[in-house]
Amino acid sequence: MAGQAGWFVCVLSAARDAAWVGIVFVAGLLALHLRQARQPRWELQLVVWVVVLAAPWETVLIRAGLIAYPHGTLWTGFAPPWLLALWVLFAIQVNVLFRWLRGRWWLAMLLGAVAGPLSFRAGAALGAAHISEMAATLGTLAIGWAIWMPLLVWLGERSDGTGISP
């Protein structure tokens, strides 16, 4: 539920040109997550890896002209910080919310292919992004998220500091 709240705060604040609100909210959720983790260093390592991998992906989508972010961008053509905060939010949920996908790689691919594009579409509908060529963009996102979801679940499994039993 905190993840959903974080998503809405990030997206709605970005749509209203107040992206810092979402970034601060996610920073608070990250701090809370790390405080509760048995191995916070492992969880932080996962967050860093996810953001480092996601930033170029998001930048490619922007530079390809598939997605544009009207607010909260620091450098033209690069992923805005609030969008990277969404990746932080996703990363802190990998070992909590999505741990059940471990070893279920086809299901992770399917879930990613469906949920990833839907999330972007919803964000655009709320005004945080502009999607050009809807079919091409959603198709690209579906392929990308069919790769991202199992990859992130796999990374999470190798850097699980939550202390939650399987």
Token digits of residue 97: 């919310």
Taking only the tens place, the pLDDT of each residue in 74-88 is 788 899 999 999 999
pLDDT at 2 (0 to 100): 80
166 occurs within a structural domain: no
Tens digits of residue pLDDT in 3-60: 889 999 999 999 999 999 999 999 999 999 999 999 999 999 999 999 999 999 999 9
Any domain includes 49? yes
Within-domain flag for 28: yes
pLDDT confidence bin for 141, thresholds 50/70/90:
very high
Tokens of 69: 């972010």
Position with higher pLDDT, 116 vs 74: 116
* Structural domain range at position 150: 2-158
> What does pLDDT average to over the chain?
93
Domain assignment present for 59: yes
Residue type, 113: A
25 part of a folded domain: yes
Residue 91 in any domain: the answer is: yes
For residue 166, pLDDT beyond 60:
no
- Residue pair 128/61 in contact (Cβ under 8 Å)? The answer is no
DSSP state for residue 131 in the 8-state scheme: E
Confidence check: pLDDT of 165 > 70: no
Does an H or E element contain 50, and which? Answer: helix 40-63
Report residue 118: phi and psi, to 5°: -65, -40
- DSSP-assigned beta bridge partners for residue 131: 67
Q: Is the pLDDT of residue 104 over 70?
A: yes
> How much of the chain, in percent, has pLDDT values that exceed 70?
97
Task: Flag whether 164 is in a domain.
Answer: no
Total domains in the fold of the chain: 1
Residue 133 maps to a domain: yes
Q: What percent of the chain has pLDDT over 90?
A: 83
Per the structure block, which two tokens stand in for 55?
């930033």
